[in-house]
Amino acid sequence: PTDTRGYIGAKYWHDPGAFRNGFKGFCSVFVTAAVAFGGTEMVGLASAEAENPRKSIPKATKQVFWRISLFYIVSLLVLGLIVPSDNPSLSKASDGATRYSPFVLSIKLAGIKVLPSIFNAVITLSVISVANTSTFGSTRTIQALCASGMGPAIGAKVDTKGRPRVVLIMMLLFGCLAFVNEAKNGSVAFTWLLSLSGLSFFFSWGSICYAHIRFRKVWAMNGRTVDDLPFATQYGVIGSWIGLGLNILCLIAQFYLAISPISREPGVGVFFENYLAFPVVIVFFIGYKIYFREWSIGIDLKSINVDEGRRDINLEELKRELEEERAQKAILPWWRTVILYNIW
């Protein structure tokens, strides 16, 4: 037999409840969610190597939305309905073991014997994919920093195929830190690494939003319009302001948890366990300013050259494509316009 619990419905949303520990419990998952969502910004990083960013970037970003909706929101909603939040095995998931994954637990609760092993294999393949993406993103970022004079010159070197081998080897060795999770007290180290990496995503996403706001401002200062851009986000500068604000709110919420943790006494160790990335980012920021003797918070917008490093773009052809898109939207039914240009 499979599941013998009978009709479940929304039972577990009421008993033991969907939101444990109230507002603090809700805020406590922000870092974990950030780690899970981490990598979505790779779309922008990969755009530099895309053959036609104007076509590929909109399609890729819209697919990210659907992946988030399907694999995160829908799947987590279903898990919340079939796995009780007080299941004792969930508290063991902090050590990163896939056997305590909520997905695996839901299958076990259903009494399906073979499927948990298959799902563990799927999780393993997903981890390999994440490792591949992380290696790509980290090597490209470090290589770009070194090429800009913000790191050792040896890190800027690439081979004949454009691969930064030195940085690649360094990142692969650094990735071996993941195996510390298998040590006796590996769960403690995993928690610290999770705090460091998870909180860092808020800084990354916030800085991306802030950079976009400043870019659009300097773009307008140079007499350019949105039509001069090969790709423009649907929500414009307003979307970046909202994104920046939400990231700041997440940092504030995590600070609140660091000084007032759930089911634990406040302390220095607990604070840094939850908020380690913040002092690390501040130390690196101040260290950079001291080393390069740059005391201004941001670069003067008047000194930014918006044409440096840009691809050669035929503006007349770009404007013609935009006019064709507008004409196409005008003759299509509204629902097809939404699907073709806003959803897919």
**325 and 276, same domain (yes or no):** no
Give the CA angle between residues 215, 219, 221 to the nearest 5°. Answer: 120
d(CA 232, CA 322): 11
Q: Which of 71-75, 90-94, 154-158, 326-330 has the highest mean pLDDT?
A: 154-158
**236 and 260, same domain (yes or no):** yes
Residue 238: per-residue pLDDT: 94
**275 and 340, same domain (yes or no):** no
pLDDT grade for 308, boundaries at 50, 70 and 90: confident
In a domain, 108, yes or no: no
**19 and 71, same domain (yes or no):** yes
The more confident residue out of 218 and 129 is: 218
Residue 93: per-residue pLDDT: 52
Instruction: Give yes or no for residue 94 having a pLDDT over 60.
Output: no
Sign, Cα dihedral of 132, 134, 139, 140: positive
* Averaged pLDDT of the chain: 80
Residue 98: per-residue pLDDT: 46
In a domain, 287, yes or no: yes
Contacts of 119 (CB under 8 A, 6+ apart): 101, 103, 104, 107
What share of the chain has pLDDT > 70, as a percent? 89
In a domain, 279, yes or no: yes
Over residues 126-130, mean pLDDT: 83
**82 and 121, same domain (yes or no):** no
**119 and 39, same domain (yes or no):** no
Please name the helix (run of DSSP H) or strand (run of DSSP E) that holds residue 89, with its range, or none.
none
Domain containing residue 176: 114-182
Q: For 68-79, write each residue's pLDDT tens digit.
A: 777 778 888 888
Query: Are residues 18 and 29 in contact, defined by beta-carbon separation less than 8 angstroms?
Result: no
Q: What SS3 class is residue 63? A: helix
Instruction: Give yes or no for residue 314 having a pLDDT over 70.
Output: no
In a domain, 104, yes or no: no
Q: For 178-228, write each residue's pLDDT tens digit.
A: 777 777 777 777 777 777 877 888 998 999 999 999 999 999 998 888 877
CA–centroid distance for 312 within its chain? 30
Instruction: Give yes or no for residue 1 having a pLDDT over 60.
Output: no
- In whole angstroms, how far apart are CA 181 and each of 93, 96, 126, 189, 226? 12, 7, 18, 7, 48
Over residues 125-146, mean pLDDT: 85
Residue 283: per-residue pLDDT: 92
- In whole angstroms, how far apart are CA 99 and each of 104, 117, 118, 130? 6, 9, 11, 19
- Split into its structural domains, the chain has a count of 4
Over residues 51-55, mean pLDDT: 70
Over residues 271-291, mean pLDDT: 87
Q: Which two tokens stand for residue 243?
A: 């994104």
**172 and 188, same domain (yes or no):** no
Instruction: Give yes or no for residue 89 having a pLDDT over 90.
Output: no
**339 and 251, same domain (yes or no):** no
Count Cβ atoms within 10 A of the Cβ of residue 210 and give its class: 0-12 exposed, 13-18 middle, 19 or more buried.
middle
pTM to 2 decimal places = 0.76
Could you tell me how many residues make up the chain?
Answer: 344
CA–centroid distance for 278 within its chain? 17
Please identify which residue in the block is written with the tokens 């970037």.
57
Q: Of 147, 166, 182, which marks where a domain is finished? A: 182
Sign, Cα dihedral of 205, 209, 215, 216: positive
Q: Which of 39-48, 126-135, 212-221, 228-237 has the highest mean pLDDT?
A: 212-221
Report residue 238: phi and psi, to 5°.
Answer: -60, -40
Over residues 286-291, mean pLDDT: 88
Residue 248: per-residue pLDDT: 94
d(CA 214, CA 298): 10
**260 and 297, same domain (yes or no):** yes
The more confident residue out of 319 and 117 is: 117
What share of the chain has pLDDT > 90, as a percent? 11
